[in-house]
């Protein structure tokens, strides 16, 4: 009897604890979902108890939230998150990350502003609106509401400032770019194509293009003077480029094209430089499209001075170097200089047969009679990092201003490369000795 009693008691206590736990959980959920509109006077500060994501504003479906996202333990970024997967769909372009602590705050005073009283403003919409709202397809808007107006005027929307992702029916115009989360790669529209670029390479004012997808113009032509093209990811599974009407000038179909899928779709520039499309099946994001199909065609699948062989993975251009996860150059590039034009710049030379540039059709070349001539042109120019020569065509591809990225390994041994490898500056004496050597090499 005693035993039975105590077991019942135990069960009841358990039940009670679970009940309290559930209702606590529920109340916080309800609270989180209740915030669907922010009005003037709204203010939020990061909660020190929360370790990953703090929801601030939810869309009517509860699928998306504007959140504080914890970065590297004690820093904060502002993002729109797909709640079920914790995937960031949009990230505010802060001047720099804020602290996950006092005095960081997000408030709405007509502008949605993230700031702290010491460092100033990290980010602002610079508007004079009445309310902030998140649409059920993840578009954050600052709206002006006229008296009794049912269709509010949009002063600012996150759809105009995409990060690395586009969602269904979001307009991507030639004024925008998608930038990979690591900042290395971007996608932009040209006159009749979309291109993928390596960011921040001087001497190339828009970055170096490594992939170009020209509009097929099967259903409509791109007409000069008819205005710039724009691109939209459509709900029935294709990424279309348009000029100023509803008939696309190009259609990139996803695997699930014209098949009804359960959830939303998105397309994203990935940290490896690919462009991938996904749909949400309720549990996972399913990969549905991939622009660059061959790994070796990516801008740098094996890192600087790496060699990518289709189906065989990575090795190093220098076959005395073992390929490892930190790449082929040890120590890695430790100087900011983009060239070998400084007095103390020196390099080792490396030659290798059976190599080719990925996407060489996008690269500039000069015609030369021999590999030696091609190599000499590079040795004579301190902005040159290397050359790749094709014996049959006589094309000499000169690579300027940036270290060699991965090349593609081919069986044709008449395709040859010559590369400069920066030598690390050692102790002072060493430096003098070596720079003398370098001068010898150059003269």
Ligand X SMILES: *[C@@H]1O[C@H](CO)[C@@H](O)[C@H](O)[C@H]1NC(C)=O
Could you list the residues that contact ligand X (CB under 6 A)?
61, 63, 93, 109-111, 113, 121, 128, 135-136, 169, 171, 179, 226-227, 244, 263-264, 280, 282, 319, 352-353, 381, 383, 391, 398, 400, 414
Name which of 6 and 146 has its Cβ closer to ligand X.
146
Contact 415, 391 (CB under 8 A): yes
CB of 339 to ligand X, least distance (A): 9
* Interacting residues of 46 by C-beta distance below 8 A, sequence separation 6+: 54, 68, 76, 100, 101, 104
* 3-state SS assignment for residue 2: helix
CB of 314 to ligand X, least distance (A): 15
In the chain, % helix, strand, coil (3-state, to 5) comes to 15, 35, 50
d(CA 408, CA 308) in angstroms, rounded, equals 5
Structure-token match 């993840």, residue found: 138
For 323, counting Cβ atoms within 10 Å of its Cβ (0-12 exposed, 13-18 middle, 19+ buried), the class is: middle
Name which of 136 and 437 has its Cβ closer to ligand X.
136
CB of 165 to ligand X, least distance (A): 11
d(CA 107, CA 244) in angstroms, rounded, equals 38
CB of 419 to ligand X, least distance (A): 12
Structure-token match 């915030």, residue found: 35
Query: Which tokens hold the place of 315?
Result: 């090795």
CB of 63 to ligand X, least distance (A): 4
Cα-Cα-Cα-Cα torsion 220, 222, 225, 231, nearest 10 degrees, comes to 100
Span between the terminal Cα atoms of the chain, in Å = 101
* Interacting residues of 372 by C-beta distance below 8 A, sequence separation 6+: none
Name which of 55 and 352 has its Cβ closer to ligand X.
352
CB of 307 to ligand X, least distance (A): 11
Name which of 379 and 431 has its Cβ closer to ligand X.
379
d(CA 157, CA 63) in angstroms, rounded, equals 18
d(CA 114, CA 43) in angstroms, rounded, equals 10
CB of 162 to ligand X, least distance (A): 8
Name which of 23 and 169 has its Cβ closer to ligand X.
169
Name which of 425 and 438 has its Cβ closer to ligand X.
438
Name which of 323 and 431 has its Cβ closer to ligand X.
323
Name which of 3 and 34 has its Cβ closer to ligand X.
34
CB of 383 to ligand X, least distance (A): 5
């Amino acid at each position: 009897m005693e035993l039975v009693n105590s077991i019942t008691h135990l069960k009841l206590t358990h039940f009670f604890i679970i009940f309290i736990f559930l209702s606590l959980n529920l109340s916080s959920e309800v609270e989180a979902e209740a915030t669907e509109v922010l009005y003037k006077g709204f203010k939020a500060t990061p909660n020190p108890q929360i370790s990953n994501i703090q929801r601030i504003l939810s869309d009517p479906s509860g699928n998306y939230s504007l959140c504080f996202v914890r970065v590297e333990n004690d820093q904060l970024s502002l993002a729109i998150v797909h709640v079920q997967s914790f995937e960031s769909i949009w990230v505010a372009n802060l001047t720099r990350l804020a602290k996950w602590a006092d005095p960081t705050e997000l408030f709405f005073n007509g502008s949605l502003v993230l700031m702290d009283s010491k460092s100033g403003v990290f980010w602002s919409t610079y508007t004079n609106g009445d309310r902030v709202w998140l649409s059920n397809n993840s578009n954050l808007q600052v709206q002006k509401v006229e008296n009794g107006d049912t269709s509010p005027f949009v002063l600012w929307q996150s759809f105009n400032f995409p990060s690395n992702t586009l969602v269904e029916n979001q307009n991507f115009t030639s004024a925008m770019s998608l930038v990979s989360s690591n900042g290395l790669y971007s996608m932009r529209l040209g006159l009749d194509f979309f291109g993928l670029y390596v960011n921040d390479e001087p001497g190339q004012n828009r970055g170096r293009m490594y992939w170009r997808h020209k509009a097929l113009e099967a259903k409509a032509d791109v007409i000069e003077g008819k205005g710039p093209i724009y691109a939209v990811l459509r709900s029935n599974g294709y990424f279309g480029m348009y000029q100023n009407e509803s008939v696309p000038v190009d259609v990139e179909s996803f695997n699930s094209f014209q098949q009804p899928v359960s959830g939303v779709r998105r397309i994203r520039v990935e940290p490896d430089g690919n462009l991938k499309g996904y749909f949400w099946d309720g549990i996972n994001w399913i990969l549905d499209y991939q622009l660059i199909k061959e790994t070796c065609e990516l801008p740098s699948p094996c890192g600087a001075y790496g060699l990518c062989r289709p189906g065989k993975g990575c090795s190093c251009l220098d076959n005395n170097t073992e390929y490892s996860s930190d790449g082929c150059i040890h120590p890695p590039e430790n100087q900011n200089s983009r060239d070998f034009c400084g007095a103390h710049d020196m390099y080792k030379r490396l030659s290798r047969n059976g190599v080719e540039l990925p996407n060489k059709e996008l690269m500039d070349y000069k015609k030369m009679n021999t590999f030696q001539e091609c190599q000499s042109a590079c040795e004579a120019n301190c902005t040159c990092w290397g050359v790749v020569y094709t014996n049959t065509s006589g094309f000499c591809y000169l690579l300027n201003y940036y270290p060699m990225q991965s090349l593609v390994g081919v069986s044709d041994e008449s395709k040859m490369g010559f590369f400069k490898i920066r030598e690390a500056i050692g102790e002072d004496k060493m430096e003098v000795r070596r720079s003398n050597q370098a001068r010898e090499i150059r003269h």
